[in-house]
Amino acid sequence: PGRQCAPAARAGEAYTLQVRPVVLLLGDSITQQAFEHGWGTALAAAYARERNADVLNRGFSGYNSRLLKRVVSTVLSQLGEPLERVALVTLLVGSNDATRPGSAQHVPVGEYTDNVRAILEVLRDRLPAAHVLVLTPPAVDEATFRAFCEKTGRGDGDGRSNERLAPYVDAAKAVAVQCGAHVVDLNARSLSFPAWQQRLLSDGLHLSGGGNQLLFELLTDAICNHLVDVAPGRLPWHLPRWNDVRVLV
């Protein structure tokens, strides 16, 4: 499992009631599927284990950066929570942008760059206290995804390939640095993973169990190394342990 940070709370400590923070997962189908026994489920379990944050999934299958830019303000407004509660946001988008020019989901890399920057600016303006992690899209197995799409009547995969994806990955990393966000380079790590096509992807595009585990480990390592104040076990418990309730009286 991903690395767990040492818990800060100890039995018998004086306790101040805390507002329970929120971790927001924002992106496309790779985020939407993160709660299907995936990296989002594992992250939610890590925070639930320490009873100190809620993980919300706002992944939208099929979305590209153009669509996500249009809806990000609405997504934040509809959270139903004080936005001050949002302590951490993950952003993962680009797999659908990097399709063949002329396909329905394609977004040119220049516009993609502007869209990601606009999304990060909205997050910075609306969530000034939140950390942001930009995740690069995983590598794609073009032949496997094309075969999957043809078999299931979904066309030919719209030309997804690592060659076409590479400039989008570079753009996401560059914009993240420019906007003061942190980067989790899933793309580079997946390409360096032995037999990544078989071990990390379920259909050539989306993450398998192994791919979800890898992303969870990369996330928890990034959080525990660089965003320690929002790491599982470092945030204060929302409510004390059962044998510490006396300190609330």
Bridge partners for 88 per DSSP: 23, 131
- Catalytically annotated residue among 29, 65, 95, 161: 29
Residue 190 among the catalytic residues: no
Sheet containing strand 54-59, edge to edge, reads 54-59, 22-27, 86-92, 131-135, 182-184
Cβ 217 vs Cβ 210: under 8 Å: no
Q: Which of 106, 131, 182, 206 is catalytic?
A: 206
Query: Residues 119, 91: contact at Cβ < 8 Å?
Result: yes
CA 236, distance to chain mean position in Å, is 23
Which two structure tokens, joined as six digits, stand for 74?
């609405």
How far, in Å, are 51, 53, 82, 152 from residue 19 at the CA level?
A: 12, 9, 10, 46
Q: How many CB atoms lie within 10 A of CB 222?
A: 20
Q: Any catalytic annotation for residue 192?
A: no
Q: Single out the catalytic residue among 203, 208, 238, 244.
A: 203
Which of 64, 53, 119 has its CA nearest to residue 93? Answer: 64
Asked if 133 and 176 touch (Cβ cutoff 8 Å), the reply is no
Task: Identify whether 29 is a catalytic site residue.
Answer: yes
Q: What is the DSSP-derived secondary structure letter of residue 71? A: H
Q: Which residues are catalytic?
A: 29, 203, 206
